[in-house]
A = this chain, B = another copy of it.
């Protein structure tokens, strides 16, 4: 297997990107292709002992920055590491592309058949799935690729999410739910209310509507929402977790007694950090494209990059793209 990784993706590139790629090459024992400015990447690579590893460098003279506007960058930077990396997948010189750069940009480029990969036939909108690093690690889709959705889009997110979970986690007939502001009939906004009959008729294992509490509690394997709501949930969860963690640390520093308590209780906090650690998940799959694409957070460290690559490896191994190609035919998605 050959996995291409954007060496110019992260906020601190190329350090975490290259470090994570080296770790992944060692863990997976597969070929990793670093895509980026050849001189910069090779200089960074020299820091590591890569003698036993299969690591290649693919030159890309340009890079997408976080301030670039997705609709513009598609055409204005044809030699960016994203363009070149996705091109490797399109030309079957790589099995997957991983980036922790600008999500909107990689989605915009990947959507186009000639420049990137194009959508799977029948898929209206690729979507960003995400395993929540919380509780039973439930899967939420969409987390921000589509700010405006129609019911048939949500249904496809449900289908793609169900197939992803089925292949990746080996769960047969995963429980699929819609995220809503209540479980009772009549709850939900118009989008949810109009989506319910589509889910009921879909052949998916649709288990109804759930609220965020039930989502966190793992009462569904796949939770479906529009990309705006999903993004707000994700960012609210991050903000609240950060607030609590900061407040608790400040409170602990109040006096010698609580400082000592904090020191003794440190393993409990370490355990919590592990439980909430997005680095162990590393990245989020962009589902619905003609190829495996994993995106990660711009603030990713080497561990997160490594795990994003490992996730790409698992998607290829489990033939998730092929499953979605079959799935959109199997499920009736005509609106």
Contacts and interface: CB of A to CB of B under 8 A. Distances in A.
Interface in A165-185: 179, 181
A134 B242 CA distance: 12
B216 A243 contact: yes
A212 interface: yes
B267 A260 contact: no
B147 A243 contact: no
A181 B228 contact: yes
Interface residues of A, number: 59
B232 A247 contact: no
A268 B252 contact: yes
Given A261-B268, A266-B261, A144 B247 contact: no
A248 B242 CA distance: 14
Contacts of A237: 236-237, 240
A213 B242 contact: yes
Contact of A276 (B225, B244, B261): B244
B135 A232 contact: no
A244 B272 contact: yes
A189 B149 CA distance: 9
A254 B271 contact: yes
B233 A233 contact: yes
B235 A247 contact: no
Given A258-B264, A268-B251, A211 B235 contact: yes
Contacts of A263: 261
Contacts of A227: 181
A241 interface: yes
Contacts of A257: 264-265, 267
A49 interface: no
Interface in A247-304: 247-248, 251-252, 254-255, 257-258, 260-269, 271-272, 275-276
Interface string A129-163: 00000110000000010011000000000000000
Contact of A212 (B179, B215, B235): B235
Q: Which 5 A-B pairs have the closest CB atoms?
A: A261-B264, A261-B265, A251-B268, A147-B189, A212-B236
